[in-house]
Structure formats: C-alpha cells, structure tokens
Amino acid sequence: GVVRLSYVNLDSLESQVKWGQVALLERDVLVDKLRNVLDSLRGRVVSKNRDELESSISKLAVQLPQREGELLQQKAEVKKLATSLKLASEDAKRIVDEERVNARIEIESARAAVQRVQQALHEHEELSRRTEKQDVQELKTEVQAARRIKMLHYRSKVMDMENEIQVLRAQFAEKASLSVQLRKELTMRKSPKENKDRIYELEGLESLGSCLHIIRRTNTAPNVSDCLIQWYRIQPVGSKIELISGATKPVYAPEPFDVGRFLQAEITFGDDSVTVKTAGPIDPGLGSYVEELVRKPETEFNVVVVQENGNDCDVDPIHVLNIGRLRMKLSRGKAVVAKEFYSSSMQLCGARGGGNAAAQTLFWRPKKGLHLTLAFESVRERNAAIMLARRFAIDCNIMLAGPGDRTTGFVWVLVRKVE
C-alpha cells in the first residue's frame, strides 16, 4: 500500500512540474509579443497618450524584468523540485524493487518453511505409524504369550480334572461292580436251587456305557457262540417283556432306551433254553450332562462312519454329527452326508451287534433307503447323543427308537430319568 501511494504522489508531482515549465515558456513568449506590440504602437499614438503609453511601457519594462526574475527563480525552483522528484522517483523505484526482492525472498523462505513443516509432519506421521505398528505387534506378541501361558495352565488344570474324573469313574465302576455282585449273591441266597441249575450268567456293569456279556458258569454248558440268543427289555412295573430287534449276540451294550428297565437274554441250545437277567434296572448316570447339552441350540460330536446301508466302510476321515433342536446333520468338512428333520421315518438307537465297540456305536436311519452305523470317541458321548436327539425329537412330537422298538412308555421313562 505504501509503495502504491508513493507511485501516485510521484506521478502528480511530475505532472505539476511539466505544466509549470509550459506556463513559463508561454509567459516569456507573451512578454516578448507584448513588448513588440508596444514598440509598434509608440509611433502611432498622439503626444498626450504617448506619454502615458511610454510611462506604462517604462513601468511595464521595469515590471517585466522583475516578473522575468521571479519566473526564472520559479523556473529554478521547479527544476530543483523536478530534480528532487526524479531522485525521489528513482529512490521509490529502488525501494519498490528492493521490497519486491525482499518479498520474493520472504515468499521463498515461507515456502521452504512450509515444506520443512510438511516434511516434519510426514516424518512424524511415519514414525508414529511405525511406532504404533510396533506397539501393536508387541501387544499381539504379549497377548499370544499370555494365551499360551493360559492354555498351558488350562491344559494342566484340565488334565488334573480329567485324572480326577477317571479316578471317580474307576471308583464308581468298582462300587457298581460290587453292587451288582452283592445283588447276584442275594439272588442266589434267595433261590439256591435255581442258582444251582443256572449254567450262564451276565457279566458287566448294569449301566449306560458298559457291555453285558453272557458267559458260561460251568465247562459242561454249551459254548455261547453255538447258541441262539435274543435280548429283551422288562418293564419294572408289570414285568412287561419287549423284544429288542437285532440284539442276537452274546454281547449287548445298554442304550438310553433301556434306562430304568431290566435286561434279559434268552439262550437256546437244541430243544432247551435258559434265561439270564440283570439284577436291577439299567442306571443312566448322564442326567446332568444331558441337561447341560439340552440348554444349547445344537451340539456337535466327532464320529466315524462304520457302515452304510449294511456295508462296511473303509477307514473314513472324521465326520461331524450335529444334533439340533429341529434336525440332525452328518457332514464331512463342507460336504453334507445326511441332513433330515425329526420325523416318524427316522430311527435312532444303540448298535446291536457284538464286540466291545458296540458301546461306542449307534444305528441311525435318517430316512428310508439310508441307514448308518456311527462310532463315537467315547461311550459317554454315544449315550449322550442318543438321549439328546430323543429329547429334542420329543419336543417335536416325534418318538425316536430303533427297529422294532415300541415307543409306549418311552417318553415317560426318558423324561423321568433326565429330569
């Protein structure tokens, strides 16, 4: 603003000096012309007027030099002023140029400062990003280490609990075996004559998860493998006998459908037949565990497909059996082998073949034309899966049972034992 104002003042002063010089030049010309006119008029006028004219000319001649002197002085002053103005204009231009150079230097300096600030901000952001990334990585490492320590501690606790559970199960099995033995001895004492004639007996715990074996009491008895065998269920009230379809082996693994009932095996050799019976009803032992699973919307079990439609399967990878509130699903990875809602055509029960592995396998017919034999990781999981599926099926008004099983009284037994 100051520079622009200086330019305006310089322009106005230069214009004034120029017009002053023009006025001086015009004044000199006018004086010379006036003098010439007066001289030419001097010879034409009369004497009276001539005196007055000469007097006027004399006065004018005196005044004109004075005026000329004044004009010369003004001219000198104007020149001096013009010189000063020229110098001032040059100084102003020099100042403007200097200011312009200084402004450019300041602008360049400001740009450099801005670039330095931007570079510093960028470096700070990069440093913060690297530091944050490093902190996150260190935090992840610490979390992983903490999880590893926790898992190691958790595994040790789980192992301790599993060992305690194994000890408790062994103690329970020992107590149960002792209880069965005492029941058998009590039965023998009550009927010594029948006991003397008995040539076969049942061996094994009378509870879910065990296997009942028919064994000979004397060497004179026919070999069990040479006899015809049929297993039955007996209601504790009314002693109603129910045939177990497919249970024709010397070994039978009780399933949840047998809970609360006696088991009896009929052994036929030639024209003779004998029966052996459990000393008491089958004990469940899974009520609280199944109740815990019932609270979940679905539960998964790792299984292996042993048979499909009666044909033995090769060693298959692990399958997953999903038991939900409305349906059951068997899958291998992302491939679905079977997926069906609970229906009257679905069948589910424990495997009724022979061998010690029968206690860990079950028979499942999801629909007509497809039936599978599945092996579980433990006897406990197999029995829990059967009880859980039947519990969910009951909520859908479906009774899940095995081939040839009667469902009368089944709901009452299952609910009574689980609840």
Write out pLDDT tens, residues 13-46.
556 656 655 555 555 666 667 667 766 766 665 5
Last residue of a domain, which of 277, 302, 334?
277
Give counts: helices (H), strands (E), the chain: 6, 15
CATH number, domain of 255, equals: 2.60.40.2700
* 3-class DSSP assignment, residue 332: strand
Is 161 inside a domain boundary?
A: no
Question: Distance between CA 132 and CA 389 in Å, rounded?
Answer: 51
Is 71 inside a domain boundary?
A: yes
Do residues 258 and 296 both lie within one domain? no
**CA 41, 43, 44, 50 torsion-angle sign:** positive
CB 85 within 8 A of CB 20: no
Is 242 inside a domain boundary?
A: yes
Last residue of a domain, which of 240, 257, 277?
277
Which two three-digit tokens encode residue 170?
Answer: 């062994």
Q: pLDDT tens string for the chain (419 positions)?
A: 434 444 445 556 556 656 655 555 555 666 667 667 766 766 665 555 667 766 776 776 677 677 777 778 887 888 888 888 888 888 888 999 999 999 999 999 999 999 999 998 888 888 888 888 888 888 888 888 887 777 776 666 667 777 777 777 667 667 766 776 676 667 666 665 555 567 888 888 787 767 888 888 888 888 888 899 999 999 888 778 889 888 888 888 888 778 888 999 999 988 888 888 888 888 776 667 788 888 899 999 999 998 888 888 876 678 999 999 999 999 998 899 999 999 999 999 888 765 667 778 899 999 999 999 999 988 888 888 998 999 999 999 998 888 877 655 444 344 444 44
Is 143 inside a domain boundary?
A: no
| DSSP per-residue codes, 336-353 | EEEEEE--TT-EEEE--S
Is 317 inside a domain boundary?
A: yes
Per-residue model confidence (pLDDT) at position 302: 93
Do residues 302 and 363 both lie within one domain? yes
Is 124 inside a domain boundary?
A: no
Do residues 247 and 310 both lie within one domain? no
Is 306 inside a domain boundary?
A: yes
Domain count, the chain: 3
Do residues 255 and 367 both lie within one domain? no
Question: Distance between CA 333 and CA 101 in Å, rounded?
Answer: 78
Is 160 inside a domain boundary?
A: no
Do residues 262 and 318 both lie within one domain? no
Per-residue model confidence (pLDDT) at position 340: 94
Burial of 24 (0-12, 13-18, 19+ CB in 10 A): middle
Do residues 215 and 93 both lie within one domain? no
Do residues 57 and 75 both lie within one domain? yes
Per-residue model confidence (pLDDT) at position 272: 86
User: How close are the terminal C-alpha atoms of the chain, in Å?
Assistant: 98
Burial of 255 (0-12, 13-18, 19+ CB in 10 A): buried
Last residue of a domain, which of 211, 243, 277?
277
Per-residue model confidence (pLDDT) at position 251: 87
What domain range is 270 assigned to? Answer: 201-277
Q: Answer yes or no: pTM beyond 0.75.
A: no
Question: Distance between CA 393 and CA 388 in Å, rounded?
Answer: 9
Do residues 68 and 93 both lie within one domain? yes
Per-residue model confidence (pLDDT) at position 354: 59
Do residues 70 and 28 both lie within one domain? yes
Do residues 239 and 338 both lie within one domain? no
